[in-house]
Amino acid sequence: MNKMSSDSVNKTKQAVDLMSAEELRDPALTAAKLLAQERAYFYEKFDPPFYIFSRYEDVNNALLDAETYIEGYGNGPNFQPPRGILSDAPHHTFTRGLIQRDFLVKKINDLRPRLEAIVQELLDAVADKTVWDLHDELSFPLPVIIICEILGIPTDDIQRFKRWADASVANMCASDPLEYAHELAEMNAYLLAQIHHKRKLGRTDDLLSVMALAKQDGEHLSDEELVAFAVQIFVAGNETTTSLISNLVWRLLTIDGLWDCFCGGEIDVEDAINESLRFDPPLLGLFKTTSRAVELDGVQIPAHTKVMMHYGAANRDPEAFPEPNTFKLKRSGKKMLSFSVGLHVCIGKELAKLEASVTLNALRQRYPGLRLVDEGERVGPFLFWGRSKLPVTHT
């Protein structure tokens, strides 16, 4: 995703193909195409077809209008029943309220020493390697370990979580719901056993216990509901944070001189994280469903239609961000939309930023000689943007 590719899209309208090899390789190309198209772009290449909003103002306004653009049919392109936190008021208010406390800035800051310890352990483990994979050995395990600890589930078999996490994100974009049924059933059974165990213990010292013991109108949440809710937290907090860390390191190592400036202390880690989120959003977009017919710039969108909020395009809208295709460390003005806004704004954003900040600071202290071995590989599903492999060396 570089300046050349997106600027080279000429101003004539070109059809968007989210699943094409070139757009998967370079989401800036999709962004440029979308920003040259009508504001509500009809995407026919998926079943069911959907609309895409790409301008900053349109995405922002839609996200703030939770009565028209609802969550209750899931945030992928397929229609799902409302479950857990992927729901609307009043159920969403209740579920979000249950976990909100654990993600407050103060609580998250208390996790800093633990995060630092995990990162140091992960970096110790690669100290003597000539080549290691930044995804597999650092940016993937860190969020999984911390989310498991927050939920109160064992971290004994991290590869099993990797399989489940991969299946969950792939399932979000799959046209055949049966494709990942086996892995998802395994994950659900595991979480259900954990939930039953928590209920038996009757304590409230971790997040899964709080959820397992919570009552709505005098009743515990159903097993199905609880499992869906736990999966949502697990999935929302892992792949995304992993991609934030790998994307940022990848970008710093790719753009001439940036890693050296970063290691020399000339770049503020918060600025780097914010620009990475704008430039390389781990989620390129998510879906809402219209609760009523709407009209945008002359395009009529019927009720009960999926609309993709394209964060990747909105973050590169020149009306909101001057020189949008340049990775610029000091930006003022509009905020990037990669964590969404409104009632469903990411609950884990402070945690994700803290994980990235601790990791990047440790990396620059311990391995200033870090270099890419090659570009690695892109994560599979089209909604996501990150590296599933990122071979590096520090010797």
Q: CB of residue 89 vs ligand HEM: minimum separation in angstroms? A: 11
Decide: is 108 part of the binding site for ligand HEM (CB under 6 A). Answer: no
Q: CB of residue 188 vs ligand HEM: minimum separation in angstroms? A: 18
385 with 277: CB under 8 angstroms? no
For residues 314 and 370, which CB has a smaller minimum distance to ligand HEM in the complex? 314
Find, among 66, 59, 51, the residue nearest to 306 by Cα. Answer: 51
Residue with tokens 């209750």: 72
Binding segment toward ligand HEM, per CB under 6 A, in 106-114, 262-270, 345-353, 360-368? 345-353
Could you say which of 172, 267, 347, 370 contacts ligand HEM (CB under 6 A)? Answer: 347
Total residues interacting with ligand HEM, rule: CB under 6 A? 24
The dihedral region occupied by 217, where left means phi > 0, alpha psi between -120 and 50, and beta the remainder, is: left
- The gap between the terminal CA atoms of the chain, to the nearest Å, is 28
Decide: is 71 part of the binding site for ligand HEM (CB under 6 A). Answer: yes
**What burial class does residue 266 get, using C-beta atoms within 10 Å of its C-beta: 0-12 exposed, 13-18 middle, 19+ buried?**
exposed
Site for ligand HEM in 128-187 (CB under 6 A): 147
Decide: is 9 part of the binding site for ligand HEM (CB under 6 A). Answer: no
Could you say which of 340, 358, 362, 382 contacts ligand HEM (CB under 6 A)? Answer: 340
Q: CB of residue 129 vs ligand HEM: minimum separation in angstroms? A: 26
For residues 123 and 147, which CB has a smaller minimum distance to ligand HEM in the complex? 147
For residues 9 and 272, which CB has a smaller minimum distance to ligand HEM in the complex? 272
CA neighbours closer than 13 Å in the CB half-sphere of residue 382: 20
> Which value, in Å, is the radius of gyration of the alpha carbons in the chain?
21
For residues 168 and 338, which CB has a smaller minimum distance to ligand HEM in the complex? 338
Q: Sort strands 371-372 and 40-43 into parallel, antiparallel or unpaired.
A: unpaired
DSSP-assigned states of every residue in 303-362: SS-EEEE-HHHHTT-TTTSSSTTS--S---SSPP-TT--GGG--TTHHHHHHHHHHHHHH
Cα-flanking dihedrals φ and ψ of residue 215, to 5°? Answer: -125, 140
Structure tokens at 247: 């994307």
Could you say which of 9, 85, 111, 320 contacts ligand HEM (CB under 6 A)? Answer: 85
Binding segment toward ligand HEM, per CB under 6 A, in 37-45, 134-142, 229-237, 254-262? 229-237
Decide: is 269 part of the binding site for ligand HEM (CB under 6 A). Answer: no
Binding segment toward ligand HEM, per CB under 6 A, in 53-61, 123-131, 160-168, 233-241? 233-241
CA angle 78, 79, 82 (to 5 degrees): 130
Q: Sort strands 387-389 and 306-309 into parallel, antiparallel or unpaired.
A: unpaired
Alpha helices, DSSP H, located in 18-157:
21-25, 27-35, 56-64, 91-100, 105-109, 112-126, 134, 141-151
Q: CB of residue 150 vs ligand HEM: minimum separation in angstroms? A: 7
Q: CB of residue 138 vs ligand HEM: minimum separation in angstroms? A: 15
Decide: is 241 part of the binding site for ligand HEM (CB under 6 A). Answer: yes
Could you say which of 76, 77, 152, 282 contacts ligand HEM (CB under 6 A)? Answer: 282
Could you say which of 148, 153, 351, 363 contacts ligand HEM (CB under 6 A)? Answer: 351
Residue closest to ligand HEM (Cβ): 348
80 with 174: CB under 8 angstroms? no
What sign has the CA pseudo-torsion 311, 277, 230, 165?
A: positive
For residues 71 and 133, which CB has a smaller minimum distance to ligand HEM in the complex? 71
Decide: is 247 part of the binding site for ligand HEM (CB under 6 A). Answer: no
Find, among 367, 383, 358, the residue nearest to 109 by Cα. Answer: 358
Q: CB of residue 257 vs ligand HEM: minimum separation in angstroms? A: 25
Q: CB of residue 142 vs ligand HEM: minimum separation in angstroms? A: 11
Binding segment toward ligand HEM, per CB under 6 A, in 20-28, 115-123, 344-352, 363-371? 344-352
Residue 43: beta bridge partners? Answer: 50
Residues that bind ligand HEM (CB under 6 A): 71, 75, 85, 96, 147, 232-233, 236-237, 240-241, 244, 282-283, 286, 338-340, 344, 346-348, 351-352
